Amino acid sequence: MSILFKNCYLVTPGFEHENMSVLVEDGKIKQIFAPGDELPSADFVKDCEEGMLLPGFVDVHCHGRSGYDFCDGSVEAISTIAKDKLREGVTTLLPTTLTVSEDQLVKVLQSAADYVRSPESLNGCKIPGVHLEGPYINEKLIGAQNPAFVRLPDIEEVKRLNAIFPVKKVSFAPEVEGGAKFASDLLAMGITPSAVHTNATYAEFKNAYVHGLRNLSHFCNQMTALHHRDIGMVGAGLLNEDVYIEFICDKLHICPDMINLVFTLKSADYIQLISDAMRASGMPDGEYDLGGMQTFVKNGAARLANGALAGSTLQICDAFKNVAELTMMELSDLVQTTSYNQAKALRLPNIGKIEPGYCADVVLMTFDFKVRETYVNGELVYGID
């Protein structure tokens, strides 16, 4: 099966140009054609009508969507979220858990395992594994996590969960007892360690850095702020060039000025746009549940009763639009933050670029950042009629 995308504005890391064409064969990018090149025949020809063709987005931090949460622990929940994330242009997704009991985590990972073996998985984005956010966090920066289930880092628990379904990333507080070594233990398992809900000093970060910590989850939110006597975790993310940062660019979790500041100080090579979306994403305002806690959504902002932000309702296509409009960056630089950086940080091969040999996971967008069509392995899985 082959498909030829023609007449597109191609955007991929390090390159963007109009009137390009892309040949896909058997789910892989086969060849790129410049304007004026003779085009090959294909089983199907898609005229992109000068729309933007980009690598499919990779959301590595997402709790839910469309009224469902991954911690619901059902195939129905995962199936609905994985299918509806395609509407945002997401082609690879890490279902992200909350701070809950091990029994609940077992249920969640088992449902993920059941889902990827089901025919339903052919209708949604790729799920190579899960992201555990918590339960190994610091209660002093609990945010919208449930303090009843906070516990110390436990690599044996991670091993038990990983045996059910791959754990690709674990976000935890590196300053808690055993936290620094936990980072190296995770790396030994091929799992990406990341810091989150952390009260670490910069010295405590450096201790974990020595053990391999190179990721900070939802940067700036629920972590030690930049201070002139201790630069904390925010300073760590800005000072250390090789540290990846997740960024919730909804202009609520992070104000526009901070978005501009971070993109000015930090190379786009190490920024990952995420949604951190909860079940209210794609849903109307109202009352929702988040890990057993009552959450209120008004004007798209999700908060607990005490006013604390409780995840987001952000969609990745909108995060991309927000940053593009705020920073005025070249899209060929910015597109790294939506897919390729995530793939590098998680060591996911052949994802995040439109180049020969890469998976044909692509999204066709308008120039005002609306998703027209989403393809996974060269197959149309979402399109606007």
| Structural domain spans, the chain | 2-54+354-383, 57-346
Q: Judge contact between 334 and 324, C-beta under 8 A.
A: yes
Domain 57-346 sits in CATH at 3.20.20.140
Backbone φ and ψ for 352, nearest 5 degrees, come out as: 105, 5
Burial pattern 162-196, b for ≥16 Cβ within 10 A else e, equals bebbbbbbbbbbbbbeebbebbebbeeeebbbbbb
DSSP-assigned beta bridge partners for residue 90: 57
Contact at 8 Å (CB) between 11 and 335?
A: yes
Pairwise CA distance, residues 250 & 309, whole Å: 12
Q: Whole-structure pTM over 0.85, yes or no?
A: yes
Helix (H, G, I), strand (E, B) or coil at 68: strand
**Residue 305: which of 292, 297, 295, 319 has the closest Cα?**
295
| Distance from C-alpha of 25 to C-alpha of 268, rounded to nearest angstrom | 31
pLDDT in the model for residue 359: 98
- Euclidean distance between CA atoms 148 and 190, whole angstroms: 29
What pLDDT is attached to residue 228? 97
Residues 99/150, Cβ–Cβ less than 8 Å = yes
Residue 128 and residue 28: Cα distance in Å, rounded?
18
Question: What's the average pLDDT block by block, 10 residues per block, for the chain (385 residues)?
Answer: 97 98 98 97 96 98 97 97 98 97 98 96 96 97 92 98 98 98 98 98 98 98 97 98 98 97 98 97 93 88 88 96 98 98 97 98 97 98 88
Q: Identify the DSSP state of 267.
A: -
Amino acid at 30: K
Question: What are residue 273's DSSP bridge partners?
Answer: 247
Helix (H, G, I), strand (E, B) or coil at 356: coil
CA atoms of 10 and 353, how far apart (whole Å): 11
Predicted pLDDT of residue 289: 86
Amino acid at site 91: T
pLDDT at 385: 64
The span from the CA of 354 to the CA of 377, in Å, is 12
How many angstroms separate the Cα of 347 from the Cα of each of 168, 352, 361?
9, 11, 17
pLDDT at 262: 98
Closest by CA position to 77, among listed 88, 91, 87, 67: 67
For residue 291, the model assigns a pLDDT of 78
CA distance 299 to 90: 23
Look at the alpha carbons of 78, 80, 85, 90 in this order and tell me if their dihedral is positive or negative: positive
How far is the C-alpha of 193 from the C-alpha of 155, rounded, in Å? 12
Q: What is the pLDDT of residue 370?
A: 97
- What whole-number distance in Å separates Cα of residue 80 and Cα of residue 55? 22
If we measure between CA atoms, which residue out of 226, 229, 232 comes closest to residue 205?
A: 232
Q: What is the pLDDT at residue 384?
A: 85
Structure letter (DSSP) for residue 40: P
Architecture of domain 2-54+354-383: Roll (2.30)
* Residues annotated catalytic, as ranges: 276
Structure tokens at 246: 């997740």
130 phi-psi bin (left φ>0, alpha ψ -120 to 50, beta other): beta
Using only the alpha carbons of the chain, give its radius of gyration.
20
